[in-house]
Amino acid sequence: MDEHAELRLDEIDENGALPDFRSSRMGTAEGAGRARGRLHHFHEFGGGDELAQELYEAQGGSGSSWIFNADHEDLTPEERYVVTEVREEMGQRAKEEADLIGFYVAWHRAGGFAGLERAGWHRSTIHRRVRRFRACFGTHPDTMDFSWITLDLDQLWREQYEKRIRWANDPPEYREPEPPDEDY
């Protein structure tokens, strides 16, 4: 994430509506293409093709595992389909886990169950999300450590307080709209 990226509260209109970003679109639906580039690099240079081949074989595929290391244009349409299916399995998993990873971030950001409840989450919703999280990842969100996610919560909380202090110190005539309640 861009370390300087943040919602500019001065761009929120008097009705609390977010800015219309259609006039400042990215060049493509891929944005700057960072995520796509990272995945491509992983498959080309980070061992992704070998892991896809291993997954294909573990799932009972045989005879054409070489296709994961071949240039895409050298493959038949059927072979391209197999490569795409195996790789897209990871994308499907990302889709299924996105909400739960967001819950994990919210859990830690809010300081756990009581913090989520104080923020307005219903107890049964929190319990339901914890149950889904445990079913998916095998552990509670409070004890989960994703090896690929690092939360700098001290920095987050510090920035939130500093933003609120700046807002509180602005003279009323120059004051930006108050941040939403859930931004505590």
Please say if the pLDDT value at position 2 is more than 70: no
7 versus 171: the higher-pLDDT residue is 171
8 versus 150: the higher-pLDDT residue is 150
Residues above pLDDT 90, as percent of the chain: 35
DSSP alpha helix (H) spans, 47-180:
48-58, 77-110, 113-118, 123-137, 153-169
Range scoring the smallest mean pLDDT among 3-17, 51-65, 98-112 = 3-17
34 versus 178: the higher-pLDDT residue is 34
3-state secondary structure of 57: helix
Does residue 179 sit within a domain? no
Does residue 107 sit within a domain? yes
172 versus 67: the higher-pLDDT residue is 67
CA atoms of 74 and 77, how far apart (whole Å): 10
CB 10 within 8 A of CB 176: yes
Average pLDDT over residues 13-27: 72
Does residue 149 sit within a domain? yes
Please say if the pLDDT value at position 61 is more than 80: no
Does residue 66 sit within a domain? yes
Does residue 11 sit within a domain? no
Token code pair at residue 162: 């500093």
CB 49 within 8 A of CB 82: no
Does residue 25 sit within a domain? no
Does residue 125 sit within a domain? yes
Please say if the pLDDT value at position 161 is more than 50: yes
**Burial level of 67, CB count in 10 A (0-12/13-18/19+)?**
buried
CA atoms of 155 and 108, how far apart (whole Å): 13
Number of domains comprising the chain: 1
Please say if the pLDDT value at position 158 is more than 90: yes
Across 38-42, 61-65, 102-106, which has the greatest mean pLDDT?
102-106
CA angle 130/161/175 to nearest 5° reads 120
Average pLDDT over residues 91-119: 95
Does residue 30 sit within a domain? no
Average pLDDT over residues 77-99: 85
Give the domain range for residue 150: 36-174
